[in-house]
Each structure stands twice: as structure tokens, then as C-alpha cells.
Amino acid sequence: MSDLAANSDSKRALDSGPETRLQDELPRDEPMPKNYLALTIFSCFCPAYPINIVAFVFSIMALNSYSQGDIEGSRRLGRNALWVAVASIIIGLLIIGIYCVVHFTTHAL
């Protein structure tokens, strides 16, 4: 009987601890930082595949970081997603341009 009382007391003590109330401490007053998800999805259509997938992963990590309450981490990851997505689009356009130049100069009519 005393074992049951000890378990319920320890469970009550654990449930009312400050670690279990993390949702109350999240600063939801700040607006959500940009994660550039649409831009990173658009960059996935460029032919720079390893780079644009990294941009997409950074964007998803920014979303997850915000949902965990890390506003500064979300802002940093969103900024990284932006720069990697822009680099992916530029590299993709360069690849397309080089392909067109090589194709049309070697296949002359």
C-alpha cells in the first residue's frame, strides 16, 4: 500500500515539474521567421540536385526549430535555406546555359 502511495506522490511531483510545462514557456509573441519553403521547393526543379535538397532540408529544419520554440535558430536556418536555394537556382541556370551552348554549337545544321 505504501508503494502505491510513493509512486503516485513521485508521479505527481514529476507532472508538476517545470520541465513538463515547456509549452507555457514558448515565446509565441514573435511572428514566425521566414523559412523560404516555397523558394526551396522551386529550387528543387533546377538541375543542381545535391544543393537544392540541402536548401529544402534547411527550410524544414527552420520550421521544426520554430515549432520547438527556438526563434533565433529558426531565423538562422531560414537564412541558410535562402542562400543555398539562391545558389542552387544560379547553378542550375548555369548548367542549363552550358548545356544549351554545347548542344547548339556541336549540332550545327
Instruction: Tell me if 67 is assigned to some domain.
Output: yes
In a domain, 88, yes or no: yes
Please report the pLDDT score of residue 25 as a whole number. Answer: 53
Contact of 34 with 85, CB cutoff 8 Å: no
Q: Quick check: 78 and 61 in contact, CB under 8 A?
A: no
Domain count, the chain: 1
pTM listed for this prediction: 0.69
User: What pLDDT does 2 receive?
Assistant: 55
* Residue 4 domain flag: no
Q: Which range of residues forms the domain containing residue 48? A: 32-106
Q: Which of 31, 78, 85, 87 is nearest to 59 (CA)?
A: 78
Q: Is residue 40 part of a domain?
A: yes
Show pLDDT as tens, one digit a residue, over the chain (109 residues).
Answer: 555 555 555 555 555 555 555 454 555 678 889 999 999 999 999 999 899 999 999 999 999 999 999 999 999 999 999 999 999 999 999 999 999 999 999 975 5
**Quick check: is 47 in a domain?**
yes
